A and B are shown apart, each in its own frame.
Chain A
Amino acid sequence: MGVFERIGKALHLPTRSKAPVPFVVLFKKFKSILERNNRILTLMADMGDKLGGEYVFDRRYIESACEELADQLFKLVSDLSILNRCRNVPLFVAFENVRQEIADELAGRHHFPDTPATLPLSELRADMAEAAGGKFAMLGELKNVLQLPVPDGFVVTTRAFAEFMERNALPDFIREQTKLLDADEEGNIREVSRRVRERILAASLPRSLGRGIAESLEDLARRGGRIPKSLAVRSSAWNEDGETSFAGQYESVIGVPPSGVADAFKRVVAGAYSPEAWLYRRRRGFREHEAVMAVGCQVMIDSKASGGLYTYAPLTQKEEGIFVSAAWGLCAPVMSGEIETDSYLIGRRAPFPTLSREIAHKGSRMVLGSKGGTGFEDVPALAADAPCLTEADLALLGEVSLSLEKYFKRPQDVEWTLDASDRLYVLQSRPLVFYGEPARRTGAIDAATSQAEVVFSGRGDVVQRGVAMGRVHVVRTDADLADFPFGAILVSRHTSPRYSRVMARAQGILTDIGSPAGHMAAVAREFRLPTIVGCGVATEMLQSGDEITVDATQNVVYRGLVKELRYFELTEEAVYEDSYEYRLLRRLLKKITPLNLVDPHSPSFTPSSCRTYHDITRYIHEQAVAELIELSEDRRGILDATARKLRSPLPLNLSVIDLDSEATGDTGAIEIPDLHSLPLRELLTGLIDSGMWSTDPVPVDMGSFMASLTRTLGVSGPGSGKLGRNLAVVSSEYMNLNLHLGYHFVLVDAYVGDVINDNALYFRFLGGVTDFSRRARRAGCIAKILERADFRVELHGDLVIGRLKKFDKDAMRAKLRLLGGLVGFTRQLDVRMARDDDSHCFAEEFLAAIKPVMEDAHDNP
Chain B
Amino acid sequence: MTTPDAAAPARRRLLILDDEPIVVKRLKPAFQKAGYDVAVFTDSAAALAAFEQNPAHIVITDLKMEGMDGIAFLDRIKAVSPDTGVIVITGFATLETAKESFHKGAFDFVAKPFKLADILDVVARLETFLGNPRHDHVA
Contact = CB atoms under 8 A, between A and B. Distances in A.
Interface of A: 50, 54-61, 64, 285, 438-439, 442, 445-446, 462, 465, 553-555, 568, 572-574, 576, 579-582
B22 A59 contact: yes
A582 B22 CA distance: 9
Contacts of A553: 30, 33, 116
A572 B35 CA distance: 14
A696 B37 CA distance: 70
Nearest to A575: B29
A139 B117 CA distance: 36
A57 B113 contact: yes
Interface string B104-139: 000000001111110100000000000000000000
Contacts of B119: 56
Nearest to B110: A56
Contacts of A573: 29
A442 B112 contact: no
Nearest to A553: B33
A56 B23 contact: yes
A438 B20 CA distance: 22
Nearest to B121: A458
Interface of B: 18, 20-23, 25-30, 32-35, 37, 91, 112-117, 119
A59 B23 CA distance: 10
A574 B28 contact: yes
27 contacts: A50-B113, A55-B114, A55-B115, A56-B22, A56-B23, A56-B113, A58-B18, A58-B23, A58-B91, A58-B112, A59-B22, A60-B91, A60-B112, A61-B113, A64-B91, A442-B32, A442-B33, A442-B35, A445-B33, A553-B30, A553-B33, A553-B116, A555-B117, A579-B22, A580-B22, A581-B22, A582-B22
Contacts of A59: 20, 22
B33 A56 contact: no
A579 B25 contact: yes
A555 B121 CA distance: 12
Contacts of B30: 553
Contacts of A439: 32, 37
Contacts of B22: 56-59, 579-582
Contacts of A54: 115-117
B124 to A, nearest CB: 10
A574 B26 CA distance: 7
B117 A56 contact: no
Given A554-B34, A555-B117, A574 B25 contact: yes
Which 8 A-B pairs give the minimum distances between C-beta atoms?
A: A57-B113, A58-B20, A574-B25, A581-B22, A56-B26, A60-B91, A55-B113, A579-B22
Nearest to B120: A554
B91 A568 contact: no
Nearest to B36: A442
B122 to A, nearest CB: 13
B112 A438 contact: no
Nearest to A47: B113
Nearest to B35: A446
A580 B91 CA distance: 18
A574 B33 contact: no
A109 to B, nearest CB: 21
A55 B22 CA distance: 11
B90 to A, nearest CB: 10
Contacts of B27: 56
Contacts of B33: 442, 445, 553-554, 568, 572
A438 B32 contact: yes
A283 to B, nearest CB: 12
A706 to B, nearest CB: 45
Contact of B112 (A56, A446, A462): A56
Nearest to A63: B91
A56 B116 contact: yes
A445 B29 CA distance: 13
Given A55-B115, A56-B114, A60-B91, A285 B21 contact: yes
Contacts of B34: 554
Nearest to B114: A56
B29 A60 contact: no
Nearest to A516: B115
Contact of B115 (A56, A438, A576, A581): A56
A57 B117 contact: no
Contacts of B35: 442, 446
Contacts of B21: 285, 579
B33 to A, nearest CB: 7
B116 A572 contact: no
A491 B18 CA distance: 39
B8 to A, nearest CB: 16
A579 B115 CA distance: 17
A574 B112 contact: no
Nearest to A458: B117
Given A58-B22, A59-B22, A60-B91, A572 B114 contact: no
